[in-house]
Structure 1
């Protein structure tokens, strides 16, 4: 059954990620950060949408700060509800973010909401990825629903540690494919 496959893969990926030492994590994060900065679609992007890293995810705080300091427009997710999904909120500083009830940093209100069709570069989180664009998220469907509203020209990438790349991610019809995975 597909959901059991996903559940098992999620557990394995979370376990591997949590075992990463602080030194290795910092080194891998720096390598991924450097690669993103050299990525043509990041350099050319007018409006970047990215997740705000949480716990042992690939760090995005440095990227957010870099984008802001280099006068790029940056937007991050704000959850409305499980039913309604999430929206993109443009920020000018990481200081505008506060922990939500799950401990994830997000904007405090819905001011500066961005139309998803304006986004030209999107960085999405995930637990496992394959080379065909398959992405295993956390199971809430927030990103799949949100990404379906992006322009067809938007580049959707994921940041991952190399051990998060697997042969096949079980996918369903509603799962949005990503274009590239940037790893250490």
Structure 2
């Protein structure tokens, strides 16, 4: 399904959500978040979007903001100041929850610092203190693909933070209503896949047991493929054979040569320091 078609399909599904249902789902999302280590252990700074006033097309984040502020976490909220994808800043809230709720509204009803308010707020856009990014979206899938509104602000922000921090930070988590979880999200070259998605039903992680088993089977071609039920343990054991230096690269492309006499052909495997979730790319290129 194309991106415009998927946006229309999800919008239709969300049109039947009542304010009470949205509030119930949003409360469930917060409860699920509390069991996610990256959220529960966050003590430094986190970025989060503020909810559109009166809309039922996204998770209401005010309870999440309240939870973070109550724990002393520095909370940064977005301000869009131009049309370029890089024209979104993350500004630290300088007051309590009520001060945040008193921020001016955009023409779409989104609370957002205006120029005057922004002048007195700390710019955390490129801060390495942001260990947690809680992001919105139109739709999400089980592989943590994210479909936004098409302007690219969050993809650019996530990419910049990942380049800046590296080493598995920050943790990027999408917040979703049940109706926003779909079978597959089309991903473009500039689209950033998330680390996790949290909905009222629980947490979806970028790498699954199935991904681990698939990666292990692919990387052991010519050595005897593991059983279908093999899991992340085998992938982890295999990963220990290769040393990849810590750095701010995103991918490592490895040419894998089976042992002499095995009859296997060399193939390429694409790996990342954050997991074995590129098994599908390795298979396509094998």
What's the TM-score once normalised by structure 2's chain length?
0.60
Aligned with residue 172 of structure 1, among 188, 192, 214: 188
- Once the two structures are superposed, the pairs formed by residues 150-161 of structure 1 within 5 Å of their partners are 150=161, 151-152=165-166, 153-161=169-177
Computed over aligned residues only, the root mean square deviation of the Cα atoms, in angstroms, reads 1.6
How far did residue 41 of structure 1 move? 0.6
Matches of 1:73 and 1:157 in 2, distance apart?
Answer: 17
Alignment pair present for 1:68 and 2:69 = yes
What is the match of residue 101 of structure 1?
Answer: 107
- Once the two structures are superposed, the pairs formed by residues 25-174 of structure 1 within 5 Å of their partners are 25-45=22-42, 46-54=44-52, 55-56=55-56, 57-83=58-84, 84-91=86-93, 92-94=95-97, 95-96=99-100, 97-108=103-114, 109-110=118-119, 111-114=121-124, 115-150=126-161, 151-152=165-166, 153-174=169-190
* Structure 2 residue runs without a partner (length 5+): 201-286
Matches of 2:144 and 2:4 in 1, distance apart?
Answer: 19
User: Highest relative contact order (Cα 8 Å, sep 6+), 1 or 2?
Assistant: 1
Whichever of the two has the greater Rg, that structure is: 2
Does the aligned pair in 2 maintain the 1:136–1:169 contact within 8 Å? Answer: yes
Secondary structure, aligned partner of 2:174: strand
For these two proteins, the number of residue pairs brought into alignment is 181
Deviates further, 107-116 or 156-165: 107-116
Secondary structure, aligned partner of 2:2: helix
Does the aligned pair in 1 maintain the 2:27–2:63 contact within 8 Å? Answer: no
Greater strand proportion: 1
Secondary structure, aligned partner of 2:182: coil
Secondary structure, aligned partner of 1:173: coil
How far did residue 58 of structure 1 move? 0.4
Note the alpha carbon deviations across 1:129-157, whole angstroms, 9 max, x for none.
11122100011111011111112310000
What's the TM-score once normalised by structure 1's chain length?
0.91
Matches of 2:112 and 2:96 in 1, distance apart?
Answer: 12
Does the aligned pair in 1 maintain the 2:50–2:111 contact within 8 Å? Answer: yes
How far did residue 105 of structure 1 move? 0.6
